[in-house]
Amino acid sequence: MAGGAARGGAAGARGARGGGAAAAAAAALPRGRGGPAGGRGGARGGGRPGPRGGAARAPAGGVGHGAPSPPPGGAGRRGWSREALLGELRARRAARAAPSPGGGAGAAPGEVFLVGTGPGDPGLLTVRALQLMQRADVVLYDRLISDDILRLVGADALMVYVGKEKGLHTRPQEEIEALLAEFAAEGGTVVRLKGGDPFIYGRGGEEAEHLEAQGVRVRCVPGITAASGIAAELGIPLTHRGVADSVRFTTGHLRDGLVLPEDVAARAAAEKTTLVVYMGLSALPTLVEGLEAHGLGAGTPAAAVERGTTLEQRVVLGELGELQARVGAAGLESPTLIMVGDVVALSPHWERRGECPVFQAGDLERGRLQAPVDPAPLLAAFEGLEAAPGGAALGGEAPPLAAP
C-alpha cells in the first residue's frame, strides 16, 4: 500500500471533520455496567465483578445451569446432563402453559432463534433481540455475553451456559447442536444468544444447517458485528473515500494453525483495504509478518481492542510494526479485535497514542455510568405500534422474520 499518500488523505479527512469528531455520539439506549461475568477487578475495573476466570454468577434474569462455577440453582462446573435440562424444561412448560386450540401444552414443535447480541454494550441490542430474550423458554448463551445483557432475559427462562474459550469447551459443538434440536422438539421458544452477529464468525451457519437437517425451523436475528460496533466506538470509518474502498474480515482462529493463508495475506495487504481480524490476539505475530511480507508498510496505522464497547474496553493504537510490542506491554487479553489500515488514523484518538499507551473506558468517554437498560417501557412503546393506523401487530407471539 502506498502508505504515505493514503495516510496523507486520511489526515486531510481527519482535519476536515474538525474537533467535534472527538465527542462520541450518545447511545440510542442507556447503558449499564459492561463486561462479561468474571470481568477484571482492581482499580481499572471500577468495582466490576471479580478476576477474569473467577466464579460466574447466575444471570439475574433467569436460573443458570452449567455455568463455569456453581450459580444458585445450577449444577456445578460440568453443568447439568441433557436429560436433566430437558426434564427441567418440560416441568417449567407444564407448570405455566395454558391449553391451546391445537391440543395440549407443548403439542407443536418449537423454533430456534439464533440471536446476535452485538459487541457487548446492551444499548446496541436490537429490539427484536430484546423481544425474544423476554419471551424465551430456554436460552443458551456464550462466554462473551455480558451480565448486563443476560439480565434482560425474561425471569422464567431456563438458562444454559455453553461457552467456549481456547482449550476449554464447556460443551462440544455437537452437543450444543443436539441440545438445540431437543429443546425445540419440546415446543416453545429456544433462543441461542451469540455475541456480535450469529453469521459472522459465530458458527450460526453450522447450527442452522444442523437444525434444518433435523427438520427444526431456524430464524436468525442479526446483531451489530464487533467490527462495526468497535469502529463506530473509536470513530474509525471502515471505508472512506480516497482512503479505503474495501473491507476484509478474517479470524485469528484458523483451522490450519496460526499461519495466515497466502491468499488472505496478499488480499489484505492490498492498497486502500481495511483489514479486521476477529479473535486476533494469538495470531498477531504471524499476522504482522504475513502482511509485511506482502508489502504492507510497517507504518500502517493499526488498532487492537479488548472487549470493545463495554466498560471493560481497552484500546491500543499504533503503527503495524510496533503493534505487537505495544499490545504485549499493555497486557491485552482475549477477546481482542485487530484493525489494520489507513482509516485507523481517522480516529480522533489517533494523535493521542503517544501520550496514552492504553486507552481505557474513561479515556474514550465510556467512564460515565448510565442507567441500565429497562426493557419494559421500550417494548411497550415498540409493541404499541400495533394500535397505530397501519402499524404492524407486534404483541403476543413474536412475528415471523421472513416468509416460510
Active-site residues, by number, are 142, 164, 279
Residue with cell 501520550: 355
Q: Judging by beta carbons within 10 Å of its beta carbon (0-12, 13-18, 19+), is residue 164 exposed, middle or buried?
A: middle
**Distance (Å, rounded) from C-alpha 51 to C-alpha 39?**
6
276 grid coordinates: 479486521
- The strand order across the sheet containing 273-278 reads 246-251, 273-278, 336-340, 301-306, 314-319, 359-360
DSSP three-state, residue 317: strand
For the range 99-107, what are the long-range contacts, defined as Cβ-Cβ under 8 Å and sequence gap of 24 or more? 105/187, 106/186, 106/187, 106/188, 107/187
Burial tier of 11 (Cβ tally within 10 Å: 0-12, 13-18, 19+):
middle
Residues 377, 383, 387, 391, Cα dihedral to 10°:
130
Give which of 207, 178, 152, 176 is closest to 377, Cα–Cα.
152
- CB burial of 46-71 (b: ≥16 within 10 Å; e: otherwise) equals bebbbebeeebbbbebbbbbbbbebb
CA atoms within 13 A on the CB side of 241: 0
Torsion angles phi and psi, residue 132, rounded to 5: -70, -35
Query: 341, 317 in Cβ contact below 8 A?
Result: no
CA-CA distance, 326 to 340, in Å (whole number)?
14
